[in-house]
Amino acid sequence: MTFPARSCSLVGRFADPRIAESLAALLPHLLDRGVRVRVSADAQLRDERVTRLPEAQLAAGADLVIAIGGDGTLLHAARLAAGHGVPLLGVNRGRLGFLTDVMPQDMLASVDLALAGELQQDSRPLLAARLDSAAGASAQAFALNDVVMQKHDTGRTLDFETRINGTYVNTHDGDGIIVASATGSTAYALSCGGPILEPSLAALVIAPICAHTLSDRPIVVGADSRIEITLLERPGTRAHVICDGALLGALAPHDRLTVTTSGERITLLHPPGHDYYTLLRSKLHWGRGSFER
């Protein structure tokens, strides 16, 4: 990122009244500072002062990407930014906000600090998912939080195998499995009983979804691990693979899903005073008793 930032891309569902409210304050604030504002060509925004681009091109050439919404919006922005080296600032207009940690009342002050290069930078690795079908086709995607293989449009459970670095680990019976980064340990994997990993920890969480064996528990492995998941034959088996909420593709019996840590990284920008444990206490409602500091 070059400073001062002169080009900023905005990502969000601008038709949402809450996001439109933040945008109404942010847009003139940026334009008054001589910042070129870029939005998706199909964004529902009536302002001729912005530059409209295909969404896939928003990160290329930008000095800063601002995601306005919930964590899902920031995850979408992270996919757009992958490979472009542009930092992300998340303005929280969602419900939880582990990643979008700038509150609306602090938005303009935080944006000014971001434009000047004075916010805390936090580099996070991306996961790389590769789906190889038995027929020879393949598909790939990045994920900041997690890669999920789960049953699709059926009440039947799935039978599948996992291997780590080529070594057989287990044959599972359940609704699916999650491979989460340390960043994503507080997302879907947490609801499946997975642990919370400090974001800088070089580790991955593998968490079964609704396993039919109580001993089939989440495990933590090194971030350099190669995790392979293969769906087994079973009548009515239908599964799909989702990367940060976006569909990668369908998984059929004998297809293989491989998840590794990518060489690509995303830089998140945090407001002054950001503290991960304060964030956990706030979002998970820890320390609400008489001993709260």
The total number of residues written for the chain in this structure? 293
DSSP labels, 114-130: HHTT-SEEEEEEEEEEE
Q: Which residue type is seen at 266?
A: I
Collect all residues with Cβ–Cβ distance below 8 Å to 292 and sequence separation of at least 6.
none
End-to-end Cα spacing for the chain: 37
Catalytic residue among 63, 71, 244, 255: 71
Tokens of 98: 């582990």
Residues 74 and 88 sit within 8 Å (Cβ to Cβ): yes
179 - beta bridge partners? Answer: 147, 206
Whole-angstrom distance, CA of residue 61 vs CA of residue 84: 8
d(Cα 223, Cα 89) in Å, to the nearest integer? 25
CA-based torsion, 95, 98, 99, 102: positive or negative: positive
The DSSP symbol for 183 reads: G
The reply to whether 71 belongs to the active site is: yes
Supply the residues annotated as catalytic.
Answer: 71
